[in-house]
């Protein structure tokens, strides 16, 4: 039994996990020096983290310019991911919401919205307000889900003061056509990535692992695209098939296959921060995926489950807590991280809980 596998067995929350011994051993051999890991606790979910007081719902609000509406109705989401977000259907609403949240202590926001039939989020009416927000509150950070954009739209985002541009990079045409119901190409996604990385914005693309109905299909091609167009950081998330229609059911992605992809991504992008985002299946698969992320040397993890802080400590990884969206914090650190003690006798003082 490898030292790392033995370490997981010593953690009560992880002792019953069935991890792949060969994969764990390979990850242990691959990691030459323990890299720091950041635990991100933004306000998308209610959370309690003793080491980061004030990391509640007001710290990093998620705002949708379309409310819960989305014309694409992709099979993995059906627009449901937008429903819990704060609606801001007009530029005036956005200005009001941002001012209210800043008064409550918000340091930044995730701004998104439902797509039109071309996988574009129609931000045009909001750019003057976004510029006004950045001019009035220069330290307020804005992470924007761009969807697909042309060059002029990317320039407008940059001029509006967007800090971080995010998009899902899809590497399989069948996934674009069947899951997204979209008449666009893989080349359109790569062209958007190329366009965004030519701006001054931080570009943090996402790869949704298991997006093709729970199967791995275009992830490797998406990874190759990221090698060709260097982003500031990469967020890896795992498909959650909560909202799939009965006739197009998703399977839960295999957590061991996800672990192998983490290993490949770390090898392919050795100098780029890799982050495990909020989305991943619940239950035992969630714990397995998070364990593999820490073992693979990912630089950040959003909303860590019970046991992950102790696992990182046992593997010798220095730890910090950031009350921000993981997309906004990369090697170009925007907020001063708060360190967590790595001593095992202090772990009992650190409590992390999260609920939708």
Q: What is the pLDDT of residue 240?
A: 82
Q: What is the pLDDT of residue 57?
A: 57
Model confidence at 267: pLDDT above 60: yes
Q: What is the pLDDT of residue 196?
A: 98
Q: What is the pLDDT of residue 248?
A: 73
Pairwise CA distance, residues 47 & 247, whole Å: 35
Q: What is the pLDDT of residues 176-185, one digit of tens each?
A: 999 999 999 9
Cα 2 from chain centroid? 30
For residues 140 and 93, is the Cβ–Cβ distance under 8 A?
Answer: no
Least confident residue range of 54-63, 126-135, 240-249, 344-353? 344-353
The neighbouring-strand residues paired with 354 are 47
Q: What is the pLDDT of residue 335?
A: 34
Least confident residue range of 42-51, 73-82, 111-120, 155-164? 42-51
Pairwise CA distance, residues 321 & 39, whole Å: 5
Q: What is the pLDDT of residue 134?
A: 97
Question: 3-state class of 166 per DSSP?
Answer: strand
Report phi then psi at 311, rounded to 5.
-60, -45
Q: What CATH number should be reported for the domain holding residue 204?
A: 3.20.20.70
For residues 131 and 102, is the Cβ–Cβ distance under 8 A?
Answer: no
Q: What is the residue-averaged pLDDT of the chain?
A: 86
For residues 221 and 170, is the Cβ–Cβ distance under 8 A?
Answer: no
For residues 34 and 271, is the Cβ–Cβ distance under 8 A?
Answer: no
Q: What is the pLDDT of residues 229-242, one digit of tens each?
A: 999 999 999 998 66
Higher-confidence residue of 243 and 57: namely: 243
Q: Which residues span the domain enclosing 338? A: 3-355
Model confidence at 66: pLDDT above 50: yes
When pLDDT is averaged across residues 250-278 and rounded to a whole number, the result is 94
DSSP string, 277-338: -S----THHHHHHHHHHHHTT-SEEESPPTTHHHHHHHTT--EEEESS-GGG-SSS--SPPE
Pairwise CA distance, residues 181 & 73, whole Å: 8
For residues 60 and 44, is the Cβ–Cβ distance under 8 A?
Answer: yes
Helices (H), 20-169: 21-30, 91-103, 127-136, 151-160
Q: What is the pLDDT of residue 126?
A: 98
> How many domains would you assign to the chain?
1
For residues 126 and 65, is the Cβ–Cβ distance under 8 A?
Answer: yes
When pLDDT is averaged across residues 258-284 and rounded to a whole number, the result is 93
**pTM (two decimals):** 0.87
Model confidence at 354: pLDDT above 50: no
For residues 225 and 260, is the Cβ–Cβ distance under 8 A?
Answer: no
Tokens of 165: 């541009």
Model confidence at 38: pLDDT above 80: yes
């Amino acid at each position: 039994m490898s030292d790392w596998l033995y370490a997981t067995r010593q953690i009560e929350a992880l002792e019953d996990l069935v991890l792949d011994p060969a994969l764990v051993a390979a990850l242990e051999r691959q990691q030459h020096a323990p890299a720091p890991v950041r635990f991100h606790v933004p306000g998308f979910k209610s959370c309690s983290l003793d080491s980061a007081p004030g990391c509640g719902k007001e710290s990093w609000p998620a705002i949708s310019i379309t409310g819960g509406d989305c014309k694409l109705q992709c099979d993995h989401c059906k627009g449901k991911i937008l429903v819990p977000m704060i609606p801001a259907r007009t530029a005036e609403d956005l200005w009001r919401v941002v001012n209210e949240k800043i008064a409550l202590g918000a340091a930044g926001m995730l701004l998104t919205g439902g797509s039109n039939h071309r996988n574009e989020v129609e931000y045009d009416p909001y750019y003057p307000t976004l510029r006004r927000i950045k001019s009035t509150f220069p330290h307020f950070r804005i992470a924007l889900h761009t969807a697909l954009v042309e060059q002029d739209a990317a320039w407008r985002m940059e001029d509006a003061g967007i800090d971080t541009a995010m998009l899902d990079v899809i590497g399989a045409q069948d996934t674009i056509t069947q899951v997204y119901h979209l008449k666009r190409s893989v080349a359109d996604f790569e062209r958007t990535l190329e366009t965004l990385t030519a701006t001054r914005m931080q570009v943090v693309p996402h790869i949704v692992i298991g997006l093709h109905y729970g199967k791995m299909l275009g992830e490797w091609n998406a990874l190759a695209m990221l090698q060709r167009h260097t982003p500031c950081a990469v967020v890896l998330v795992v498909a959650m098939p909560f909202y799939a229609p009965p006739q197009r059911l998703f399977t839960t992605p295999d957590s061991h296959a996800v672990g192998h992809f983490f290993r490949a991504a770390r090898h392919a992008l050795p100098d780029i921060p890799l982050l495990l985002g909020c989305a991943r299946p619940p239950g035992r698969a969630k714990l397995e995926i998070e364990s593999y992320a820490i073992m693979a040397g990912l630089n950040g993890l959003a909303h860590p489950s019970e046991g992950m802080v102790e696992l990182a400590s046992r593997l010798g990884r220095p730890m910090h807590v950031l009350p921000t969206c993981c997309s906004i914090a990369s090697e170009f650190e925007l907020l001063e991280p708060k360190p967590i003690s790595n001593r095992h006798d202090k772990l009992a003082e650190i409590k992390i809980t999260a609920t939708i």
